[in-house]
Structure 1
Amino acid sequence: MPEMEPSLEPDPLADVLHLLRLTGTFYCVPELTAPWGIAVPDLGDQLVLVAVTEGSCLLQLKSGAQFCLRPGQMVLLTHGQPVDLKSYEESTLTPLFDIPATRHTPQFETMVFGGGGDVTRMTCGVLRVDHAAAGHLTGLLPEAIFLDGFEAASGSWVQSTLNYLAEEARHPKPGGETVLTRLTDILVVQAIRSWLENGDVPETGWLAALRDRKIGRALQAFHRAPQESWTIETLAQQAGMSRSAFAARFRQMTGEAVLQYATRWRMQLAHRALKESDRSLAEIAADMGYDSEAAFSRAFKRVLGCTPGAARKA
C-alpha cells in the first residue's frame, strides 16, 4: 500500500496571515547624505516599514522608543504613528512632505536629500490591510516590530531580500518598482510572523483563542465561510466540544459571546464591501448570510451604529 502522507494540523493563525492582503499606498527609496533628519507625520491606521539597506538610521517614536538601524535591519510601525528619522541625534528635522522627491508613479518615488556626507539608503513602504481578520490582527500588534536580517531566527532569506532591495535601489532596471514593492510586502508579513513566533504575544484574548487547539478550529471554520448559517452547536462541533463548554470557553478567551463575535465579524466585512465596491446592498447582505436586506440593515446599525447607506456615503 502507498504510504499515507501525514495530515497537517489546522493552523487558524496561518489562515489569518494568508488573509493579510496588503495594499501599498506609498513606496519610497530615499538616498540620504549626512546630516539629515526627516519628520514623518501621522499616516493614519496603516503599516509603515523602514528597512535600511546601506548606512544607518536613528528611528525615534513619540513614545520615546528608539532604534538605531544598520544594513539588514528594519522596523515595522503598526499604526502609522509619527516618527523621526535621523542621521544623528542632533540632526535638524525637515517635514517629509517638504522634501523634494521624484514621483515615478502615483505610488512610488525616489528621494535624494541631505548635507553631502555619509550615505544612507532605505526602502520605505506605507501599506494598509484589506481584510477584517488582518485588521483585527494588526490592531493587537505592538507599536513597533524590530527585525534583524542577520539573526538566525529570521532566516537567511531576509538578509538576501534586503541585499536584493539594495541592489535594485542602486541600479534600477525595468520592472524594478514592481520588485521593490512586492518584496516590501513580503518583509511586512515576515515582521508580523516573527513577532507572532518570538514576541511577547498575549496569553489571553483573540490571538490566544486562535492558538487554542479547539477554539482555534472553530474560528478557522467560521473565518473561512462567515456566510454560512453558523450556530453555537455547529461551531462547537468544529471544536469537538459540547455546546455549553464551547460557549463558556469562547467567551472566556475572546471576551465575546459566540454569536456576538460572528455578527460583528460579518458587519466588519460588510462595511469594507460597502466602502470599496459598488455591489448592491442585497448582494452584500446575501454574502453575509442574510435572507433580507432589512434584517441585515438592522444588524449593521446595531453593531456599527449607522445604516449601511450612511456607511457607504461616509
Structure 2
Amino acid sequence: MDVFSDILRVIQLESSVFSKAELTAPWGIIQPSSHDAAFHIVIRGNCCLEVEGQNMPIILAGGDFIVLPHGHQHVLRDDLRTVAAPLASLGKAGQPDETGFIQFGGGGVPTHLICGSFKLDRTLGKPILAVLPPILHIKGENGRAVEWLDTTLQFIACEASSRRPGNQTVIQRLADVLFIQAVRAFLNDPLRQKQGWLDALQSPNIGVALQLMHAQPEASWSVVSLAEKIGMSRSAFATHFTRLVGETPMQYLTKWRMMKAAKLLMSGLMPLTEVAVLCGYESDASFSKVFKRYHGISPGNYRRKSSLSETYLSES
C-alpha cells in the first residue's frame, strides 16, 4: 500500500497550466491569494518573488520551480522597484505568439515563465497541506531545470504545440506530476526539519502501521492491535506514532476514514450503510455523528452538495 498515492487519489488533485509568458523588463505581476496552490517555472531569465507573510524576497533564476501550496498572495517582477500589475493583465496582453508565449512588459531584458495552479479540496487535502511550508523552491542547475523537471516540461511543450486529440488532458496530467515531484523534492531536502505523516512513512514501524490503516480502514483497529502487528509495546507505539505523525493513532485513523468516506459519498450511489461499513462503523448513526463532527455537515448533505457541485461544473 502506497499511502502517499492513496491520499492523492482521495484529494483528486487537478492542475492547470494557465499561461506561458515572455515578460520583458520592466514588468511585474500580482497574483492574489487563492484556495488553489500556485506554481511558476522560470524557463529563462531572472526575477524576484515576494510572498505575503514572508520577510525576504527570493531571487529566481532560469530552471527554478516555485510552488505556493497554501495559495498566498505573491508578486513576481524583474526588479523590486518595478510597479506590479494584476495577473489578469497577462490575459489582456493579446494572443500568444507562434511559440505559445504571451508578450508582456516594457520591451527590455526577457524572462520566460510558465504559470499554473494545483486545485485540491482544502478539507480532504489537509494531510498534505499541513506538512508543507508556504514556499517550495526547487532550484535549477546551471540555468536549467533539474532533470526530472526538464523532462516533464519538454513533454508539456510537445503536447502544447500539438493538435492531437486529448492533448489538454495530457498536459493536465503532466502538471499533476509537477506537484508530486515538488513534494518529493521537499521530502528529500536534508536541511529541513522532519515531521508529519509523510516522513513517518519512512519509519520501519510507524510506516507499516500507516500502511495497515490505509489498506484496511474498515478493520477494528486499536492502539493495541496496531502495536501487536508491528511488534511494539502499546505505550512505545503510541508515543512514537504521536511524535512522528503529530497526532495519536486513533486520531489519524479517524481522519483517514472520514477522508475515504467523503470520497465514497462524492462518487455517487453507494448506500450510506455500505459507506459506514467500509469506513469501520457498524451503524449509520455512529458513522454520521463522527462524519458531521469532522466535516461540519451530515453525510447526506455532503453527498447532495457534492452532486450539485459536479452538476454546476459539467454545465459551466
**Which TM-score bucket, shorter chain as reference?**
0.7 to 0.9
Residue of structure 2 in register with 1:138 after alignment:
129
Residue of structure 2 in register with 1:292 after alignment:
283
Rounded Cα–Cα distance in structure 1 between residues aligned with 2:41 and 2:267: 30
Rounded Cα–Cα distance in structure 2 between residues aligned with 1:287 and 1:112: 53
Residue of structure 2 in register with 1:230 after alignment:
221
Rounded Cα–Cα distance in structure 2 between residues aligned with 1:167 and 1:56: 24
Query: Aligned partner of 2:214: which letter?
Result: H
Rounded Cα–Cα distance in structure 1 between residues aligned with 2:162 and 2:111: 21
Rounded Cα–Cα distance in structure 1 between residues aligned with 2:155 and 2:294: 46
Q: Superposition RMSD on alpha carbons, in Å?
A: 3.3
- Aligned pairs (5 A) from 1:17-32: 17=5, 19-21=7-9, 22-25=13-16, 27-32=18-23
- Percentage of pairs with the same residue: 35
Query: Aligned partner of 1:309: which letter?
Result: G
Displacement, 1:51?
A: 0.5
Contact kept, 8 Å, 2:63 with 2:146, in 1: the verdict is no
Contact kept, 8 Å, 2:37 with 2:119, in 1: the verdict is yes
Residue of structure 2 in register with 1:4 after alignment:
none
Taking a change above 3 Å as real, the CA distance of residues 131 and 273 of structure 1, as seen in their structure-2 partners, is farther
Residue of structure 2 in register with 1:122 after alignment:
113
Displacement, 1:279?
A: 4.4
Task: Give the TM-score of the pair, scaled to structure 2.
Answer: 0.78
Identify which of 46, 54, 57 aligns with 2:47: 57
Look up the SS of the partner of 2:62 in the other structure.
Answer: coil
Displacement, 1:165?
A: 4.8
What whole-Å deviation, never above 9, does each CA across 1:170-199 have from its counterpart, x for those lacking one?
Answer: xx2224544543333222222211110115
Displacement, 1:290?
A: 2.2
Contact kept, 8 Å, 1:48 with 1:78, in 2: the verdict is yes
Query: Aligned partner of 1:174: which letter?
Result: R
Rounded Cα–Cα distance in structure 2 between residues aligned with 1:155 and 1:99: 27
Look up the SS of the partner of 2:115 in the other structure.
Answer: strand
Residue of structure 1 in register with 2:308 after alignment:
none
Contact kept, 8 Å, 2:41 with 2:65, in 1: the verdict is yes
Contact kept, 8 Å, 1:34 with 1:117, in 2: the verdict is yes
Rounded Cα–Cα distance in structure 2 between residues aligned with 1:80 and 1:203: 23
Residue of structure 2 in register with 1:196 after alignment:
187
Residue of structure 1 in register with 2:85 after alignment:
94
Displacement, 1:121?
A: 2.1
Structure 1 stretches of 4+ moved >6 Å: 130-133
- Do structure 1's residue 219 and structure 2's residue 210 form an aligned pair? yes
Residue of structure 2 in register with 1:66 after alignment:
57
Structure 1 gaps of 5+ residues are 1-11
Rounded Cα–Cα distance in structure 2 between residues aligned with 1:111 and 1:234: 58
Stretch deviating more after TM superposition (229-238 or 80-89): 229-238
Query: Aligned partner of 2:43: which letter?
Result: T
Contact kept, 8 Å, 1:217 with 1:239, in 2: the verdict is yes
Displacement, 1:80?
A: 0.9
Rounded Cα–Cα distance in structure 1 between residues aligned with 2:282 and 2:200: 30
Structure 2 gaps of 5+ residues are 306-316
